[in-house]
Amino acid sequence: MARYGMALDYKNCINCKACEVACKEENGVTLGADKHRIWVGVKEIEGEYPFLSISSSTFMPSQCQHCDDAPCQMVCPTNATYFDENRVVRVNTDQCILCSYCMVACPYDARFVDDRTMTVDKCNFCSDTRLAQGKTTTACQNTCPTKVRTFGDLDDPESEISELLRTRDHFSLKAHLGTNPKLFYLT
């Protein structure tokens, strides 16, 4: 039993998209730009030449935020979306009725329809693949060339992620919504 989370040193991201590819390969996510469990958001440079604001350009890796108070889990009429023993937000495809309420309710746009099962899919921290094999890293973390991602147990004070969150300033996306995400962006 753990409480898994992820810290992202997002300023190190070079938008190589290796994480997106690794995620699709590891978890068998279907091809297509709209079918992704994780993605890198690109904020383009603002201003007009020669007054370009280089600092405005950022790469923001994102995915399901595995909220502790997950709106997608609350709105699910059949409890198909649930917290597993590691507080990872997951989808039981047998119970999913594809009402799409979770897709509308998720503030992070982190869900999509898997055309094979016609159910909603999302990041599950590689629970079905790497974690099930006893590994302690996710595919996106493992492949990242600039070590943007740190995955680990938030309840373990000696884990790398706990140490990072103790020593580095960080923020969460849309924190004002009270969803308590378990993805932390290091500044």
Partner 1 sequence: MIAKAKEFITSIPVNKVGMKDLLDFERTPRNMLVAVITVGLLALFVVGLAFFFMHGHHAYNVTKEHPWGLLLAVYIFFVVSSTGLCIIGSLGDVFGFKDYMLISKRAIFGSIVTILAGFAVIAVEIGHPVTMLIYNVLTPGLTSAIWWMGTLYGAYLAFMIVEFIFLLKGDMKKAKIFGLTGLLVGLAAHSNLGSVFGFLNARPIANGVFYPTYFILTAFITGVFIAFIIMGFRYKLEFPEKVKTMLTGLAKMQALLLSILIFFITWKMFTDIYGGMPDRSEVAIHILGSWTFQAEVILAMIIPLVIILKDMGRSPVLMFWASLSGMVGIFFMRYNLVHDSQLKPLQMMKTTEYQLAPSWVHYIPSATEIMISLGGLGLCIAMYYAGTKFFNLDEDH
SS3 46: strand
Looking at residue 160, its amino acid is E
- Interacting residues with partner 1 between 91 and 120 (CB under 8 A): 94-101, 103-109, 111-113, 115, 118-119
Does position 172 interact with partner 1 (CB under 8 A)? The reply is no
Q: Which is nearer to partner 1, 112 or 129 (CB)?
A: 112
Strands 81-83 and 89-91: antiparallel
Q: Are 74 and 28 in contact (CB under 8 A)?
A: no
Q: How far is the CB of 148 from partner 1 (least distance, A)?
A: 16
Work out which of 14, 21, 28, 41 binds partner 1, going by CB under 8 A.
41
Q: How far is the CB of 118 from partner 1 (least distance, A)?
A: 5
Given the rule CB under 8 A, which of 3-11, 23-31, 75-83, 153-161 is the region that contacts partner 1?
A: 75-83
Given the rule CB under 8 A, which of 83-91, 134-142, 158-166, 175-183 is the region that contacts partner 1?
A: 175-183
Distances (CA, A) of 146 to 17, 158, 160: 12, 23, 16
Q: What span, in angstroms and rounded, lies between the C-alpha atoms of 49 and 32?
A: 34
Strands 183-186 and 4-8: parallel
Work out which of 21, 42, 45, 175 binds partner 1, going by CB under 8 A.
42
Work out which of 4, 10, 39, 125 binds partner 1, going by CB under 8 A.
39
Q: How far is the CB of 111 from partner 1 (least distance, A)?
A: 8
How many residues sit in the footprint of partner 1 (CB under 8 A)? Answer: 44
Q: What span, in angstroms and rounded, lies between the C-alpha atoms of 84 and 148?
A: 25
Q: Is the peptide bond before 50 cis (omega within 30 degrees of 0)?
A: yes
Q: How far is the CB of 157 from partner 1 (least distance, A)?
A: 31
- Chain CA centroid to CA 77, Å: 23
Strands 112-114 and 183-186: unpaired
Contact residues for partner 1, defined by CB under 8 A: 33-34, 36, 39-44, 60, 62, 71, 74-80, 94-101, 103-109, 111-113, 115, 118-119, 174, 177-179
